[in-house]
């Protein structure tokens, strides 16, 4: 992929939003297909899920790491434009108490799209009886904005654009 193609992937063409890339490679699904009512009902915010083919979460936006938790199954980021997002690995994986998860960054670290953030053991997650879906949500920070250009479900590689956080007109 050329430089200009890559820039188009990262920035919305009209300059009115921020592009969000896939944090893992796998099968992209709508939030309504995630096997957890908290995500399906939008309690955690709008977003998407990916059934992973790999075992490493990469930064879906350029920004700063703003939250890590003791169980190491989720990471919070704030994009350069102030958009907050959470990348959450697995369903009910908090019960694993960090087994099979490793952070590769710390709170306060500046990150770039595609940078490795968190590794996880898909086999350990499945052995513990949990789905290994990776969910990206935007918790309550979309006031005045919306998810635009949400990619159709299907196979996706980490770093490919999933959606744009755009501004609501009016």
Q: Which residues are catalytic?
A: 88
- In whole angstroms, give the CA distance from residue 145 to residue 135: 20
Please give the full DSSP string across 131-156, using - where no structure is assigned: ---EEEEE-S--TTEEEESPPPSEEE
| Main-chain dihedrals φ then ψ at residue 124, nearest 5 degrees | -65, -40
Starting at the edge strand found earlier in the chain, the sheet holding 101-103 runs 56-58, 116-120, 101-103
């Amino acid at each position: 992929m050329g430089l200009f193609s890559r820039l188009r992937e990262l920035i919305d063409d009209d300059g009115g939003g921020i592009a969000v890339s896939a944090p893992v490679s796998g099968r992209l699904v709508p939030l309504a297909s995630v096997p957890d009512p908290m995500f399906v009902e939008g309690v955690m915010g709008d977003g998407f899920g990916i059934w992973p083919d790999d075992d490493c979460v990469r930064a879906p936006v350029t920004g700063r790491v703003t939250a890590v938790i003791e169980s190491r199954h989720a990471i919070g980021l704030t994009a350069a434009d102030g958009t907050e997002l959470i990348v959450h690995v697995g369903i009910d994986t908090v019960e694993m108490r960090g087994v099979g998860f490793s952070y590769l960054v710390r709170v306060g670290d500046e990150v770039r799209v595609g940078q490795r953030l968190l590794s996880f053991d898909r086999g350990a997650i499945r052995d513990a009886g949990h789905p290994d879906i990776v969910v990206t949500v935007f918790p309550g920070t979309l006031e005045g904005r919306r998810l635009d250009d949400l990619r159709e479900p299907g196979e996706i590689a980490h770093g490919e654009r999933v959606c744009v956080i755009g501004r609501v007109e009016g």
